[in-house]
Amino acid sequence: MSEKPVAMIGHSALAQSDLRYSALIGAATLLLSVDLALAQDTSFGQRLFQDKADCQFCHGINGDGRGDPRSPGRAANLTETHLDRDQLVEVIACGRPGTEMPHFDKYAYEDTDCYGLKGKNLGNDAARDPHSTSLTRREIEAVADYILAKFVGK
């Protein structure tokens, strides 16, 4: 007779921990799917960095600035960059006039304002065209996110 209430208490405590457990699983599943979504984003950026835009030719596969010996060299070490996301997007879109860093926005300095400059009135200092291909805005942002996720501070 005295065992029944004990069993009931035990049962309701169990039910409560079951509830907490499933809440935990729910949270973990949510985190996992957010993680997967992010992982997908950086794999897109990675493909652009390594293949389509061929950033690695100059910056190296690890972004440390040690690219192919045939590259023009002196590419920035992206693990040490102090640029924020907006600034990364601008450099990738606009390149660096007067350096080997090409502009990946096809319309840079034409339709797109770059460092407050419009019109290719930079003469020989104009940012170069890429040896690979230009990128869309979405692709430029994906590469910037890839750099932030995989290189900066690593």
The least CB distance from residue 102 to ligand HEC, in Å, is: 6
Nearer to ligand HEC, 18 or 80 (CB): 80
- Altogether, the residues listed in the chain come to a count of 154
> In the complex with ligand HEC, which residue's Cβ is closer, 18 or 125?
125
User: How many other CB atoms sit within 10 Å of the CB of residue 47?
Assistant: 15
Residues that bind ligand HEC (CB under 6 A): 53-55, 57-59, 71-72, 74-76, 78, 81, 83, 88, 91-92, 96, 99-102, 104, 130, 143
The residue (of 118 and 135) whose beta carbon lies closer to ligand HEC is 135
Identity of the residue numbered 13: A
Q: How far is the CB of 107 from ligand HEC (least distance, A)?
A: 16
Taking the least distance from each CB to ligand HEC, the nearer of 21 and 77 is 77
Residue 129 has a CB neighbour count (10 Å cut-off) of 14
Per the listing, tokens 């907006």 go with 86
Collapse the DSSP code of 18 into the 3-class scheme (helix H, G, I; strand E, B; otherwise coil) and give the result: helix
Residue recorded with tokens 């010996």: 69
Smallest distance from ligand HEC to CB 46, Å: 11
Going from the C-alpha of 44 to that of each of 6, 58, 67, 99, 137, the distances in angstroms are 57, 19, 21, 27, 14
Question: Shortest gap between Cβ of 68 and ligand HEC (angstroms)?
Answer: 9
